[in-house]
């Protein structure tokens, strides 16, 4: 079944409101911070809550039924606590597996995340595109459907990185891994065919842009990196409508951060979150029931 991952069937802009909207940005961990930054630029007036379901990180370790049940249950609690006007699901895995269940359960709009295959196809000149994602995203039919729909005329290499999401979490926690480990994870993205070589890499996990500066330093040749975060924020802004009293991005309201586990919140991570506008950090304990 096909469904609109970014908008939702029949989604329309919300009715204009004079108050600042409340937006919940949700991810399994810290990858959604890349989306959060764009959300705050798009609607600096919004009251934003960033929710990290770190008790269940990484989502790729869960079976599909367990993941659906987990995200719906966590979302029940978060929506009851924070009453958002709109939810951004800043996670490819949760988007493709859980979004239909979330939209069936809740009346508020959900904006999801998918690998940016269409803009990658528009950007390539060599015809060689790589999609750097989690193994789960690489395996799923929706990824291949996107390739067939938008990049069928090109050579697309799917790279399932097993450790990059954890490496990004470690980077923010103040325990970065060495260059050799990062280079090993991204090396399969760089493909040569005759005189052509990969010129576009899609970042198919929201964690990966957290490592982008290091990627750029380690690559064998320059490429265009495609990050879906700006498009996600634009779609959110379309649904919310324009701010009644626009504010400059530097005046964006502080973000409240909520973690479901909290074991990885180190002093270095607190500093990194504060630098990204986190005005408060709380733990709303939601332990994962392992099955």
Q: Which residues are catalytic?
A: 91, 205
The order of strands in the sheet holding 128-133 is 155-160, 128-133, 200-203, 224-226
Which candidate, 282, 286, 279, 262, places its Cα nearest to that of 77? 286
CA–CA separation, 265 and 268 (whole Å) = 8
**How many Cβ atoms sit within 10 Å of the Cβ of residue 23?**
25
Rounded CA gap, 84 and 257, in Å? 14
Q: How many CA atoms lie within 13 A of 25 on its CB side?
A: 28
Query: Among all chains, which residue has been given the structure tokens 């269409």?
Result: 118
Tokens describing residue 59: 């989502």
What CA–CA distance (Å, rounded) separates 175 from 152? 40
């Amino acid at each position: 079944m096909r469904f609109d991952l970014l908008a939702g069937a029949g989604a329309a802009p919300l009715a204009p409101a004079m108050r600042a909207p409340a937006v919940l940005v949700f991810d399994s961990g810290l990858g959604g911070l890349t989306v959060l930054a764009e959300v705050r630029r798009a609607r600096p007036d919004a009251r934003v809550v960033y929710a990290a379901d770190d008790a269940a990180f990484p989502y790729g370790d869960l079976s599909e039924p367990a993941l659906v049940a987990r995200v719906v249950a966590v979302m029940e609690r978060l929506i009851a606590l924070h009453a958002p006007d709109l939810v951004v699901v800043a996670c490819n895995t949760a988007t493709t597996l859980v979004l239909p269940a979330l939209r069936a359960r809740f009346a508020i709009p959900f904006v999801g995340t998918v690998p940016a295959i269409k803009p990658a196809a528009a950007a390539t000149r060599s015809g060689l595109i790589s999609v750097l994602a989690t193994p789960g995203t690489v395996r799923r039919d929706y990824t291949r459907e996107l390739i067939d729909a938008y990049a069928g005329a090109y050579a697309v290499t799917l790279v399932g990185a097993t450790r990059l999401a954890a490496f990004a979490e470690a980077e923010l926690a103040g325990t970065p891994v060495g260059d050799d480990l990062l280079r090993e994870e991204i090396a399969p993205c760089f493909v040569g065919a005759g005189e052509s070589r990969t010129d576009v890499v899609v970042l198919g996990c929201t964690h990966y842009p957290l490592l982008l500066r290091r990627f750029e330093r380690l690559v064998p040749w320059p490429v265009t990196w495609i990050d879906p975060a700006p498009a996600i924020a634009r779609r959110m802004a379309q649904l919310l409508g324009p701010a009644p009293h626009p504010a400059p991005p530097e005046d964006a309201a502080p973000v409240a951060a909520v973690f479901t586990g909290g074991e990885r919140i180190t002093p270095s991570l607190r500093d990194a979150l504060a630098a990204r506008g986190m005005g408060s950090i709380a733990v709303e304990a939601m332990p994962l029931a392992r099955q």
